[in-house]
Structure 1
Amino acid sequence: MSVREEFDRWASEGRDKGMEERHWHTAKHALARMPVEPGDTVLDLGCGSGYAGRALRETADAGRVYGLDAAPEMASNARSYTDDSQVTYLVSDFEHLPFADDSVDHCFSMEAFYYASDPHVALSELARVLRPGGTFYCAVNFYEENVHSHHWPEMVGVEMTRWSEREYRQAFRDAGLHVAGQDRIPDREITIPPADEFPTENWASRADMIERYRTYGTLLTVGVAP
């Protein structure tokens, strides 16, 4: 199944809101770091329910916000969650961004970038549309060091690019972006049951669950356009 088909199905089942709830644990910390100034143009890449762009409108007074998703049903759902005229939702793949050169101040992507069919082309597109000094905050839970995520492509049923921390940094540089930082944001909000409740349907041990959320968490790589 294609990424578009799979996430159209998720959207039709209302699972976009479930993703928003889970991702918010770490996404809010990444969003708080973004140097968004009042009036800035922001792109939310792989926007899902659109919560990230709306949060930047509310907390940072971002100007024009674009949420882009490859799944039409996701974009449609996101559109229904706001009546803010400054927020627009678009359907497109990551390799063909519908923006002019140097037209976006900042881009955020949470748990979506690895679905790009060609992530190197997607990064080149981001480098093209970002203004000089613009930033790309790329947050992923699916990455090489997070051994507890390696089964996700089989579970979700779509192709996903699994890069290591080093590979993310190198790919950013290859696209012409400076790497301003990279770290892991732990999920400290998810409830971890006591040891006597393991194993569960998803976890062999409490130690595995702690490692997944508290140690690996969300990998955040920050690129800056020259």
Structure 2
Amino acid sequence: MSVREEFDAWAADGRDKGMEERHWHTAKHVLARMPVEDGDRVLDLGTGSGYALRALADSTGMARGYGLDGAPEMTHNAREYALDASPAADLGFVVGDFGHLPFDDDSLDHAFTMEAFYYSADPIETLREVARVLRPGGTFHCAVNYYEENVHSHDWQEHISVDMTRWDASEYRDAFREAGLHVAEQDNVADTEIDIPPAGEFPTENWDSREAMVERYREFGTLLTVGVVP
């Protein structure tokens, strides 16, 4: 199954809103770190329901937000959600390929992606495209929960038909640099909102031990790598 088919089905089932709720726990902290200024243009790769752009439109002076997704149903839903929210900034949503971004060179100020980068068919090509469309000094905030150090994510591939790239933190840094991006920051953003029961309630349906659950959400959380265009 293609990325388009997989996530069109998710959007049709309303699972885009479920992703928004889960991702928001750490995405909001990543978005708060982005140096978005008045008049900036921001790209959201794998926009899903478009929640990141709606949040930036409400909290910054961003002039224009572009949400790109490989699934037409996702972009359709994102447009509807944006209309309902009446965000301050001008938001547009487009179906596109991560490896061929439909933007001119040096035309955007910042880019963001949450839990979508690893679906790229060619991650290095995607990074080169991001570096191409960002202006000098522009930033790329790339956030993933599916990565090598997070051993609790390793079985995710078994539950989805789309191929996923599982890099470790050093591979992300190396790939950013290979694509021409300086690595300005890399760390783990903890999910402090997931409720973790007391030890006496384990094992649960999903967790054998409280220690494993704490490790997954409080220690590993979301891996954030920030690249800057020279």
TM-score, normalised relative to structure 2: 0.96
2:183 to 169, 179, 183: 179
Is the alpha carbon distance of 1:63 and 1:157 closer, same or farther for their aligned partners in structure 2, counting shifts above 3 Å?
same
Partner of 2:166: 162
Amino acid in the other structure paired with 2:144: V
Match of 1:36 in 2: 36
Unaligned runs of 5+ in 1: none
Q: Which residue of 1 aligns with 2:61?
A: 61
In the alignment, the residues of structure 1 paired with residue 112 and residue 190 of structure 2 have an alpha-carbon distance, to the nearest angstrom, of 18
**Number of the residue aligned with 2:74:** 74
SS of the residue 2:163 aligns to: coil
* Gaps in structure 2 of 5+ consecutive residues: none
State the shift of 1:185 in Å: 0.3
Name the CA distance, whole Å, in 2 between partners of 1:20 and 1:156: 18
2:115 aligns to what? 111
Distance 1:29 1:195 in 2: 28
Residue aligning to 2:205: 201
**Equivalence for 2:51:** 51
The whole-number CA distance in structure 2 between the counterparts of 1:5 and 1:192 is: 34
Moved over 3 A (4+): none
Counterpart residue type for residue 123 of structure 1? L
Q: Which amino acid aligns with 1:201?
A: E
Q: Secondary structure at the match of 2:227?
A: strand
In 2, the alpha carbon distance for the partners of 1:113 and 1:163 equals 11
Tell me by how many angstroms 1:200 deviates. Answer: 2.4
- Give the drift of 1:17: 0.7
Q: 2:98 is matched with which residue?
A: 94
- Contact preservation (8 Å) 2:50, 2:82: no
Q: CA deviation at 1:194?
A: 2.2
Tell me how far 1:39 sits from its aligned partner: 0.9
Aligned residues: 226
TM-score between the two structures when normalised by the length of structure 1: 0.98
2:215 aligns with 211
Counterpart-to-counterpart distance in 1, 2:27 and 2:130: 20
Match of 1:139 in 2: 143
Identical residues among aligned pairs (%): 69
Deviations 1:171-198 (A, max 9, x none): 0000000000100000000111222332
Letter in 2 for 1:49: S
Residue in 1 that maps onto 2:13: 13
Which of residues 121, 129, 132 is equivalent to 1:128?
132
CA RMSD of the aligned region, Å? Answer: 1.0
